[in-house]
Structure 1
Amino acid sequence: MESLGKRIARLRKAAGYSSQAALGTACGWERPQARVSNYEKDSREPNLADLRLLANALNVSLIELIDGSPANACEDTGQYAYKPDATEYALVPQHTAQGAAGNGQFNDHVEVKGGLVFKRAWLARMGLKERHLHVIYVHGHSMEPTVCDGDVVLLDESQTQPRDGRIYALLKPDGELIIKRLIQSITGGWIIRSDNEDKRAYPDQPVTETDLENLTIVGRVVWHGGAL
């Protein structure tokens, strides 16, 4: 399967950029050659903003850049698979990172693996901005029945302020990424809560405001096969 880096290299050549530096310059980056080289070697993952700049410079849609050609022929039938219209749908990058609904998940390296498409009209109704969105898998059972093991969730990374009763992806100081609900306690602190009713296995974790500041709120979970 063609990696994202190989796809960038192929599209760069097809677009007439004779060098990596030329493409990087078109994107407006400092150290343009090094940046594009890292992307083409798959040694560094482009963020969503860089993916958009690359797509514009290469004159392709974001969907084509991340997910391959606009229409791929089936080897068996020769028919072309349907690709959603980029004017109607937004492709949200899906990362290989996993957020644990359990004891935590370490993610030393994160890669873009295609993505999921969402109707732009739905994103607008939900007040979500495409540039702030990412998709990850969930691992573990602590958030069942709300979010189950193997579910794919949509994160809005612009929502990093804790709100009572909402579900967030939290990055702990030791590098663990967890999916939990935040509950504001009557004493003014917070509780990191699992939705699973087995509290012996998944107890509440009271935290102070200071403790919460030591956690990085990566974003709020806004969808997992339905709006939350």
Structure 2
Amino acid sequence: MNTLGDRIRILRKQLDLDQKQLAALCGWNNNGQVRISSYERNRTRPSLSDLETLAAALRTTRAQLIGDDPEAEADDGARIPPLQPNGATVYISRDELAEMGLVETALRGHICDDGGMGATLPQGNRFLIDTSQTSVESNGVYAFRHDDRIVCRRLVRTLTQGWMIRCDSTEKLMFPDELISAAALENLDILGRVVWQSGRL
């Protein structure tokens, strides 16, 4: 029977990826290759959130990645429902939620569907939104409805007491920043603050 580490290695090789490339796809830039190696050699067990991240990068599901390995489900994890129907479910350890002071029932999962936030929220990555945090604080990253879709952008107070909807992407022609008034900010349908993306934000 293949172990979880075996399945990670087999799927990685099927996609013609080395450990460093898989780590990059997972968004694990610091010691990511060491992390992948440790998982593949069954030296450490991935958390539920890491399993979800690995499954997405390996183009499979968490259930398929785990297979019939009952120990892989032993982590005391939370299943965070999607923000919208057919959206992203996020798996994260309850210990991690407690460390961040987050309340599980207030959280929703979502997938970044554009490159507007650059490295802050890479396109295709899953993240958590705290729906209890709808009061805007300057420089926070929020999910909101804008131009008939859900976007995630940084909201920054300007020196003139207005606000800027800021994209962290360096592609400013494709993702320009937008100045809005305080009154326009009040009319934004803020869904919550982005609080986690393969790590704390």
Distance 1:184 1:178 in 2: 18
Q: How many angstroms does 1:189 deviate by?
A: 1.1
Please give the alpha-carbon distance, in whole angstroms, between the structure 2 residues aligned to 1:210 and 1:180.
Answer: 18
Pick aligned residue for 2:183 from 193, 197, 210? 210
Unaligned runs of 5+ in 2: 1-62
Question: Which of 151, 160, 168 is residue 187 of structure 1 equivalent to?
Answer: 160
1:157 aligns with 2:131: yes
8 A Cα contact 2:90 2:127, kept in partner: no
Structure 2 Cα separation of the partners of residues 175 and 141 of structure 1? 18
Q: In the superposition, relative to structure 1, how do residues 112 and 82 fare at CA in structure 2: closer, same or farther (>3 Å)?
A: farther
Q: 2: distance between equivalents of 1:82 and 1:116? A: 19
Q: Against the structure 1 CA distance between its residues 117 and 201, is the aligned structure 2 distance closer, same or farther, given a 3 Å change threshold? A: closer
**Does the CA contact (< 8 Å) of 2:87 and 2:111 recur in 1?**
no
Deviation, 1:175, is: 2.7
Distance 1:116 1:201 in 2: 29
SS in 1 for 2:144: strand
Residue in 2 that maps onto 1:146 = 120
Q: Counterparts of 1:7-156 in structure 2 under 5 Å? A: 79-82=68-71, 84-85=73-74, 88-95=76-83, 97=84, 110-111=85-86, 115-156=89-130
**SS of residue in 1 equivalent to 2:175:** coil
Letter in 2 for 1:206: L
Higher-Rg member (1/2): 1
* 1:196/1:125 CA distance change after superposition, 3 Å: same
TM-score (norm 1): 0.54
Q: Is the 8 A contact 2:166 2:178 kept in 1?
A: yes
What SS class does the counterpart of residue 73 from structure 2 fall into? Answer: coil
- Give the corresponding residue for 1:45: none
3-state SS of the aligned residue for 1:128? coil
Residue equivalent to 1:21: none
Report the more deviating stretch, 212-221 or 197-206: 197-206
CA contact (8 A) 2:132 2:192 kept: yes
State the shift of 1:213 in Å: 1.4
Question: So what's the TM-score if we normalise by structure 2?
Answer: 0.61
Q: 1:79 deviation in Å?
A: 3.8
Structure 2 Cα separation of the partners of residues 190 and 165 of structure 1:
10
Q: Give the length in aligned residue pairs.
A: 137
Q: Distance in 2 between matches of 1:215 and 1:130?
A: 25
Match of 1:178 in 2: 151
Q: Distance in 2 between matches of 1:131 and 1:91?
A: 10
**Structure holding more helix per residue:** 2
RMSD: 2.3
| Structure 1 residue 198, shift from structure 2 partner | 2.4
1:127 Cα offset (Å): 1.2
The share of aligned pairs that are identical, in percent, is: 33
Please list every run of 5 or more consecutive structure 1 residues that lacks an aligned counterpart in the other structure.
1-71, 98-109
1:170/1:155 Cα in 2 relative to 1: closer, same or farther (>3 Å)? same
